[in-house]
Amino acid sequence: MTLYLDKAAVGNWPEPLETTWQLLGGDKASDLAPKLPHLGLSDILFLSTVLSIDRSERPWGIVTWLSEVFNVSRPGLYALAKRVLARLQPEVPPLTLTGGSTASVEVTPTRLARSVLSATCPGKMAIRPLQQLLDETCDQRRSVGWISELISAAGREAGQVLARQDTSALRQVIAARDETFFQNWPLLLVIEPVSATILLAQACPDRQADTWGAALLLAQEQGATIGGMVEDMARMYPKSQQEAGVELPVQKDLWHIQRDGGRVRRALERAAFRATEQVLNLEKQLLKQWDEQLFLDKYIAADAAEARLYEQHDQFAHWLTHLVDALELVDWRSGEIRERATNNWLLTETLTALGRIDHPKVQKWVKTLRRHQPQLLTSLDWLAATLTDFQPQLARQLPHPARQQAFCRTVARHWRLAQALINGHTQFRTLALQAEADLQDWLARQPHLQPLADRLQALLDAAGRTSSMIENINGLLQQFLHQHRAFRNLDTLQLYLNLFTLWHNMRRFERGKRQGQSPWQIAGIDPGTDDWLALLGYPAE
């Protein structure tokens, strides 16, 4: 086994755990893991002990460390822990009644309805598979019409439940909007990204500006006030505000911009590779038989075109990194919270440099960015406004300005690098661990700063820069809709959307920073129960 001192740890956990790992011996292979002969019984028991710790209390990064040190995949570790648990806790025989018969549950109409609706959301089941499920599990045969009518009636009730909820607890929010499609019908969604609450999910015949204007007004009918929008660059969005009679600050989604920039860079790269292929083919012809006319007419021009394309790619790739930096909320190197003036200067200089690259794809992309440039840094304005209330609170705890700045930069850098890991940028892992250690050092010496650290991170979360949350919900909704394939009309589709929206707003997140809470709970909206089926008239029995 690899010595601990030869392996860089990827997490911080109590010293006794490390000491125990160092004491493990080289036992013989165990029948608990016959396909992993390098693991002895002490290794397996150690692995199982660590994985039996509750996820909320388990040291962050330790499963990755175990996987690397013991040379076992993460799924393999979890499977091994389940196998050991099964040995320690053998299956309990089924409960029997006095007469010796197996205990059974009475299938009442309410229980049957709850089963159907639970299989619909979150089960994603269509009607015909639902028939088989009821037949096998409940010994109940129900027609397509019966199941369809039950779901439709529940959808109508879900619409009324959603309309009754008071969303004024959200106060003024930065909302995100987007649309997806099903059967060529646009589905308009408006959400509050911090809590992931769906404020509106509407099936419409079109997605024109007047339709979106009406949707913005509907999203605010229940109390929440939209103070700003995060959206992509769809052309009907600006006019929709005019149709609704509102004038909201807008932040254009930065994820789409960076994605499109990556696509342009890859297009330039492919063009350069094609130019190289053409040059190589000409060189083969000239090596086989020299042709002065071919050399003068084609090769010289092809060689110059190749050099120009590579130069364009290199220039674009260089300035693309500056563009990404100009759109940052927090500098990941220093933790500095950016100011609009600084970022706007860098953005202007970057677009000017990109505009000098004489390539049609680059010119088209830069033209789009210039058109929306004032709306690329709105999140910095929103963050600056919220920090004005935060600074006096911080000053009461840390009177010295230099200490205030150091604390804010430590928290912000930890937040930024944590976001990078969440988004899959694993190259920042070492820096993220160091940033976490730096923040923990601050809080260990001054525990009273913990609420302020949490508050600052919440403000950074709330400064909407991307529509990633609504894209996630769109992706989830598409999974549900895909199973149903078709709806008779817009009305039946809307009834299904009502069910999905109510279920989503009341479902508890299983992992992540929202773990254990539903969108409505995070938003402070109280429907009176945490059982969405009870709101539809089907309480648990």
Distance (Å, whole) CA 141 – CA 151: 16
Maximum distance among all alpha carbons in the chain? 103
230 strand-pairing partners: 176, 251
Q: The dihedral of CA 464, 466, 469, 473: what is its sign?
A: positive
State CA 500 to chain mean position distance.
Answer: 19
The tokens for 309 are 């394309």
Q: What is the mean pLDDT of each run of 10 residues along the chain (541 residues)?
A: 42 63 70 78 82 78 82 84 78 49 71 91 89 86 90 95 92 91 93 93 94 93 90 91 92 92 96 96 92 92 95 96 94 94 95 95 95 93 92 92 94 94 89 95 93 93 84 90 86 95 94 88 92 92 76
pLDDT of res. 155: 95
Name 96's Cβ contacts closer than 8 Å, sequence gap at least 6: 102, 103
Match 């010119």 to its residue by tokens: 363
Lay out the sheet containing 250-252: strands in order across. 197-203, 185-192, 172-182, 225-231, 250-252
506 in Cβ contact with 197 (< 8 Å): no
Burial group, residue 108, by CB count within 10 angstroms (0-12, 13-18, 19+): exposed
Query: Is the sign of the CA dihedral 471, 473, 479, 481 positive or negative?
Result: negative
3-state secondary structure of 105: coil
d(CA 470, CA 249): 18
Determine the Cα–Cα distance for residues 354 and 107; give it in Å rounded to an integer.
Answer: 67
Half-sphere exposure of 421 (CA within 13 A, CB side): 16
Q: What angle do CA 352, 357, 358 make, to 5 degrees?
A: 130
Q: Is 424 left (phi over 0), alpha (psi -120 to 50) or beta?
A: left
Alpha-helical segments (H) within 446-467: 450-462
Cβ(373)–Cβ(250) below 8 Å = no
Q: Which residues pair with 200 in a beta bridge?
A: 190
Give the pLDDT of residue 29: 74
Predicted pLDDT at 138 = 83
- Tell me the two tokens of residue 242: 């005019």
Q: What is the 3-state secondary structure (H, E, C) of 381-429?
A: HHHHHHHHHHHHHHHHHCCCHHHHHHHHHHHHHHHHHHHHHHCCCHHHH
| CA 427 – CA 421 distance, rounded (Å) | 8
Cα angle, residue 73 at apex, residues 67 and 76 outer, rounded to 5°: 110
Structure tokens at 60: 């962050």
Residue type, 83: R
Among 139, 122, 174, residue whose Cα is nearest residue 464: 174
Sign (positive/negative) of CA torsion 170, 175, 181, 187?
Answer: positive
Distance between alpha carbon 320 and the CA centroid of its chain, in Å? Answer: 23
Residue 143, classified by CB atoms within 10 Å of its CB into exposed (0-12), middle (13-18) or buried (19+), is exposed
Q: How far apart are CA 196 and CA 458, in angstroms?
A: 14
DSSP H helical segments within 92-230, as ranges? Answer: 109-120, 127-137, 144-164, 209-219
- The half-sphere exposure of 393 on its side-chain side, counting CA atoms within 13 A, is 15
C-alpha span between 431 and 438 (Å, rounded): 10
Q: How far apart are CA 166 and CA 523, in angstroms?
A: 11
3-class SS of residue 487: coil
Closest-CA residue to 276 (of 298, 305, 300, 297): 305
Residue showing tokens 């009730």 = 157
Supply 225's token pair. Answer: 């006030």
Spatial distance between the Cα atoms of 63 and 80, rounded to a whole number of angstroms: 13
How far apart CA 63 and CA 321 sit, in angstroms, is: 33
| Residue position matching structure tokens 């959307």 | 497
Q: Let me know the angle formed at the C-alpha of 364 by 211 and 247, rounded to the nearest 5 degrees.
A: 35
